[in-house]
Amino acid sequence: MKRCIVLGKPNVGKTLLVLRLADYMKVKDVDITFQDPGGAKYSRKYPMDIAVRELVGALPHQTKCLQSVSIEFRAGKGKKTVELMDTTGLIEQIHDDPLTRKAMAQTLSALRGAQIIIHIIDAHLAGHEDAVSDPTERDLDMQLAAFAGPRGGYCIVANKMDLPGAKRGLARIRRLFTGYKVLPVSAATGEGLKEVRRHVLRNL
């Protein structure tokens, strides 16, 4: 089974995108496998609306372990399953909470086993950071793109396109990340999910 990892900074919409994509793929009840950094694994089934309510949050680092959902794609006459992996948000600094630190290390090691990489950037935020100078190569998104970009199956999702200033943010992301595939998406409204699905399918 192929793995698709969804990563990025905290609060960019990773969890909501994973759930919305599962919803778009007609998954009715999401069966989520939680794998904590210590190695323990357990599963829980949620109706979609409850999963969104419980797992998506305005607070950073709501997701503290790998959470995966299996999705079936129709491919020709058969079916293919992909494991969509939601991860803990990454930051450049060493986080002061040991659990979050462990979860971040877990995100990075899971990257190695993934054939499809969805790197989410908040386009709304990017549109408002214009006044500030451009990020240096030490910026986490720049580092992630440089590290994961050359591998196959990589794309950047510019999320939160429904919010004001996001169009400006998208243009800025395209300028800063030239040469990479950038898909404008709103996990909130569903805009762009079709293109994300196509990206996953192409790399299965």
Ligand X SMILES: Nc1nc2c(ncn2[C@@H]2O[C@H](COP(=O)(O)OP(=O)(O)O)[C@@H](O)[C@H]2O)c(=O)[nH]1
Contact positions vs ligand X (CB under 6 A): 10-16, 56-58, 62-63, 89, 159-160, 162-163, 186-188
Output the smallest distance, CB 153 to ligand X, in A.
20
In this complex, which beta carbon is closest to Mg ion, that of residue 15 or of residue 186?
15
Q: According to DSSP H, which parts of 46-122 are helical?
A: 48-55, 98-112
Amino acid at 163: L
Report in angstroms how near the CB of residue 113 gets to Mg ion at its nearest. Answer: 20
Quick one: 52 exposed, middle or buried, by C-beta within 10 A (0-12, 13-18, 19+)? middle
Indicate the residue whose CB is closest to ligand X: 13
> For residues 8 and 153, which CB has a smaller minimum distance to ligand X in the complex?
8
HSE-CB at 108 with a 13 A cutoff on CA atoms is 13
**Which of Mg ion, ligand X, none does residue 114 bind to, with CB < 5 to 8 Å depending on kind?**
none
Query: Which CB, 118 or 200, lies closer to ligand X?
Result: 118
Of ligand X, Mg ion, none, which one sits near residue 186, judging by CB under 5 to 8 A according to partner kind? Answer: ligand X
Return the number of the residue (15 or 107) whose C-beta is nearest Mg ion. 15
Smallest distance, Mg ion to C-beta of residue 84, A = 13
Instruction: Map residue 148 onto helix, strand or coil.
Output: helix
Binding interface with Mg ion (CB under 5 A): 14-15, 63
Q: Which does 107 bind (CB under 5 to 8 A by kind): Mg ion, ligand X, none?
A: none
C-alpha closest to that of 19 among 65, 53, 61, 58: 53
Q: Closest distance between ligand X and the C-beta of residue 13, in Å?
A: 3
Rg of the Cα atoms in the chain: 16
Whole-number Å distance between alpha carbons of 118 and 133: 26
Cα–Cα distance for residue pair 100/89, rounded to 1 Å: 9
